[in-house]
Amino acid sequence: MKVWAASTFFALAIILIAVCAFSEAPASGVLAALVTMLIGWNIYSLVDFNERVKSIDKLKGDVEEKFRQFANIQSSIQEVTHDSISLLYANALGLYPEISKEYLFIYHAISALMHASIVGDINTCESICRTLLLNLSQLRQIGVSLQEKRGIEKLLDAVLHKEEIAPFYSTRDQLLNALAVKDHRSDTD
C-alpha cells in the first residue's frame, strides 16, 4: 500500500511540475498542490507509524508473557532437579535409608524425562523410557510410600508431548504397576 501511494504521489508531482513548466498556469497553484500532497503523505506516514508501534507493543507483550512462562517452567525444573539430586546424595550418605535406591533411580529418571519433554527432545525421552523399561524388567516390585508413588505420578503427569514419545504409555503403565505401596512407611500428604 505504501509503495503504491508513494508511486502515485511521485507521478502526480511530475505531472504538476510538467504542467507548471510548459503552461502559463500560475506556479503557486502547482506548488499548493505539491505541498498538499506532501502534507497528505506525512499524515499517511504518521498513521502507518502509529500502526507499527501498536503491533510492536503487542509483540512486546507477547514476548514478555513467554518470558514469564519460561521463568515459571525453569523454576519448576530447578526445584525438581534439586530434589532429585539431593535425594540421591542424601541416600548415598546414609540419610533416608527408608528410601530405596530403586525408587531414587526411578524418580531421577522420570525427572530427566520431564525435563527432556519440556525442551521437546523426543529422542532423549524415548531413550529414557527404553532404559526404564529395561530396568523395570529386572525389578519385580519396588516398595514405596503412598507419598512417593504420588510424587512419581505427578512427575509423569508433567511430561509434555506424551503422544509423540512412542514408549511413554507402556513405560508409565509398567512403572506404576511395579510401584507397590508399603504400609510401614509414613504417608503424610
Please name every residue paired with 142 in a beta bridge, in sequence order, or none if there are none.
179
Q: What is the pLDDT of residue 187?
A: 46
Q: How sure is the predictor about 172, in pLDDT bands with cuts at 50, 70 and 90?
A: very high
Q: Positive or negative CA dihedral for 109, 115, 117, 119?
A: negative
Could you report the per-residue pLDDT of 95-131, keeping only the tens digit for each? 878 888 888 888 889 988 988 898 889 999 999 999 9
For residue 69, pLDDT beyond 60: yes
Cα gap 88→134, rounded to integer Å: 21
For the chain, the domains span: 2-58, 98-181
More confident residue, 114 or 188: 114
Q: Which three cell numbers stand for residue 176?
A: 506404576
Q: What is the pLDDT of residue 28?
A: 65
* Contacts within 8 Å (CB) and 24+ apart, 13-20: 13/37
Backbone angles phi, psi at 114, to 5 degrees: -60, -45
For residue 10, pLDDT beyond 60: yes
Q: What is the pLDDT of residue 8?
A: 75
